[in-house]
A and B are shown apart, each in its own frame.
Chain A
């Protein structure tokens, strides 16, 4: 039984309303020197996501009162019939509907909650900017798209939100569009994402083909999930394993685009060109995790697609390997960054890799738990980094930071909390989620334990690069440039309040799923059991596949926790040994040597494999267009001009003469066509005679 909830539409609509109002205000104030009224714009911009958050909380409470189990444990609202096709025996109906189940509610709670806080932060951060209203309008539009992405009840509706967040990401990365490098970064993000979007679309079509050929032509998530969960469809799924595998790989390609995984990883570090709140909201907490959301949403499909598609690897194995490679690549790149935001961006890439690794061993709930904790601590880190940048008057280079622990104590305190959480020191939220991932990897089947060993190494690297950031920014002696020396200031309250809430959250949200602390009475499995109605079936099915003989002996969870703590402490000490005096190994402006080679590696591969061939083809096409097409066009024009010149010499200047000649010509033509025999000749010749006589008269007179 479906439970309808009539307020669901307000959750996406309110931010959309905010975007429309702020967009209008921005356009209305375009002519004035200072732009639209800051106060009113910020009221709308913060109020709308806040109201959406309130409604989400109400909906979550309503949902907790719904007793039905499994897929029916959800609130729904059908808005309208979107697509209705009934052609030549093919029937397809899709309504624009909203689905609010446990997965959606978890995502929406932190998307709207953290989103609201970051809107508040943006008020302080962007106050002096001329494009304040425009920025707020884009941010609200992003909230709308992100909410549609997670609340849509079908793949097409999610795709709508997926494209929407991509567009807002583009608009916000290139927000300071007077700088052409920023525009390049925005275009790069957009184009790379388009490749992923194509994968998403093709994957969705392939998935539809699989189900439609077995009599279930629907793109609704609940239909998809119930079809794949139904044991009666096992033979149909096995029969279509090739197409199904292709569908999964293509959808995962879409996820790699949005979530910046190898091979579509390069856009995220460049996306740091956008204002810092954008980096925190879109490129750390919410949008980049939508790939993980999509995998979790389609977890039944991915678990069912267990046939090998590529060198004996099934789709989830590919997810696992890609996640592992990306996590390692991002962590190593994070070690050599000089820009504080870029260091955090590579860290995000690496953490997203952790989430995909968890998905790859069928632990979708663990992946989402890491999404959840990461949203808190990475948003904290980014917002605090934004506060540092604000306090240092737009200095982002860590070589000219240092000593900020004393100058910006509040920012430092919360950055410290984010650092504490991300490197996995015991008690922080990252500690719990990362150790769960390590545990699932080491207990997984096949080659998962090897991946787990790599993941543990990456955890060590995480501790190293994050501690490096701490040393260079806060702990080492000050190395500020002369312009900002003595002018460093703490940020305004609108910026510090969101950092405080998120920083506190990044310390404590880990206890939502902390089996380690259960014996002391404060830890719970709350997060896991919360997502059970949506993910339980897929995860049970995966567990049966991975461990046909039941679970192996379960070592103590403290073993993995101990390994995680050891990695964190070791990383901390290594970083302390290297960077405690604020030493940075390069005094060049840009990255050189290994740093450049490693972080730009993908850009170079893309340049050689895609950009260069495209340019060559474009050059050839330009030559063809110039020489052949333009030549043909010019020739046509010359012919027309030649004929026209000839005709003008016959044309009579006097209107009446022209009219008479055309009348005579018409008579002649009609008589030739319609009359027959001598009569035709007589009338035709008469007409020609009249015309000739007329012309003669014309010349004579």
Chain B
């Protein structure tokens, strides 16, 4: 059943997700929403890999399925570090506005 899903359909969904994530990251000023946008982009890329593992590199290739696992692991650690940093910054200035952080460059 799942074999009948078109490769381009999977990629289209991934592309839409990626653009949504990018839009969130670019437009929202809340720093948590910014992080969520980045997560969304990462997961769109994961989806794209999964799709390619089916239709692009041949059925026996596991590369497309391995990579998302690595990405998930790295994204988890990145979220850890990122959230910890954000919490530290937010405590210092009592604001969630990412634009308010712009003075950090000296």
A406 / chain B contacts, CB cutoff of 8 Å: none
Q: How far is the CB of B65 from chain A (nearest CB, A)?
A: 24
A653 contact from B22, B26, B31, B104, Cβ within 8 A: B104
List, in ascending order, chain A residues with CB within 8 A of B105's CB.
648, 651, 653
Chain A positions within 8 Å of B34 at CB level: 655-656, 659
- B104 and A663 contact, CB distance less than 8 A: no
- Contact status A656-B26, CB under 8 Å: yes
Contact A654 B98 (CB under 8 A): yes
A648 to B103, CA, bound (A): 14
CA distance A568 to B95 in the complex (A): 98
CB of A617 to closest CB in B, whole Å: 47
Contact A656 B22, CB 8 Å, known A648-B105, A651-B105: no
How near does chain A come to B44, taking the closest CB pair, in angstroms?
Answer: 13
Instruction: Check if B102 is an interface residue, CB within 8 A of chain A.
Output: yes
Q: Is A660 an interface residue (CB 8 A)?
A: yes
Total A-B residue contacts, Cβ distance less than 8 Å: 29
Chain B hits for A659, CB < 8 A: 25-26, 34
B:68-106 near A, CB below 8 Å: 98-99, 101-105
* Interface residues of B, count at CB 8 A: 14
Residue pair A653, B102 in contact (C-beta under 8 Å): yes
Measured CB to CB, the nearest residue on chain B to A656 is B26
CA distance A651 to B106 in the complex (A): 12
Q: Residue on A with the closest CB to B102?
A: A653
Q: Report whether A660 and B99 are in contact in the complex, using a CB–CB cutoff of 8 Å.
A: no
Q: Quick check: B22 and A654 within 8 Å, CB to CB?
A: no
Cα A437 to Cα B67 with chains together (Å): 76
Min distance, Cβ A691 to any Cβ of chain B, angstroms:
13
A residues in contact with B98, CB < 8 Å: 654-656
A587–B27 alpha-carbon span in the complex (Å): 93
Chain A proximity of B40: nearest CB distance (Å): 13
Report the Cα distance A663→B98, complex, angstroms: 18
Distance in angstroms between the alpha carbons of A659 and B31 in the assembled complex: 13
Q: Mark A653-684, 1 if CB is under 8 A from B, else 0.
A: 11110011001000000000000000000000
CA distance A656 to B31 in the complex (A): 10
**Interface residues as binary, A101-139 with B (CB distance below 8 Å gives 1, 0 otherwise):** 000000000000000000000000000000000000000
Q: Which of B5-42 contact A (CB under 8 A)?
A: 22, 25-27, 29, 31, 34
* Smallest CB gap from B27: residue in A: A656
* List of B residues within 8 angstroms of A654 by Cβ: 98-99, 101-102
Which residues does chain B contribute within 8 Å of A660, judged by CB atoms?
Answer: 26
For B22, what are the chain A residues with a Cβ–Cβ distance below 8 Å? 663
Q: Report the Cα distance A659→B41, complex, angstroms.
A: 12
Closest CB of chain A to B32's CB: distance in Å? 12
Distance in Å: Cβ of A695 to nearest Cβ of chain B: 14
Cα of A243 to Cα of B31 in the assembled complex, Å: 75
| Residues on B with beta carbons closer than 8 Å to the beta carbon of A653 | 102-105
Please give the distance in Å from A648's CB to the nearest CB on chain B. Answer: 7
What residues of A have a CB within 8 angstroms of the CB of B104 in the complex?
653
Residue of A nearest to B25 (CB): A659
Cα A653 to Cα B105 in complex, Å, equals: 6
The residue in chain B whose Cβ has the minimal distance to the Cβ of A648 is B105
Q: Give, as a whole number of angstroms, the nearest-CB distance from A107 to chain B.
A: 57
Q: Which residue of A lies closest to B105 (CB)?
A: A653
Contacting residues, chain A, for B29 (C-beta < 8 A) = 656
Of all chain B residues, which has the CB nearest A654? Answer: B102
- Chain A residues with CB below 8 A from B99, complex form: 654-656
Interchain CA distance A644-B54 in the complex, whole Å: 42
A655 nearest CB neighbor, chain B only: B98
A-B contact pairs, 7 of them (CB 8 A): A653-B102, A653-B104, A655-B98, A655-B101, A656-B26, A656-B29, A659-B26
Q: A653-B104, A656-B27, A659-B26 are in contact. List 20 more A-B contacts (CB 8 A).
A: A651-B105, A653-B102, A653-B105, A654-B98, A654-B99, A654-B101, A654-B102, A655-B34, A655-B99, A655-B101, A655-B102, A656-B25, A656-B26, A656-B29, A656-B98, A659-B25, A659-B34, A660-B26, A663-B22, A663-B26
Q: Residues on B close to A: CB < 8 A?
A: 22, 25-27, 29, 31, 34, 98-99, 101-105
Task: Pick the 8 closest A-B CB pairs, nearest first.
Answer: A653-B102, A653-B105, A654-B102, A655-B98, A660-B26, A654-B99, A659-B25, A656-B26
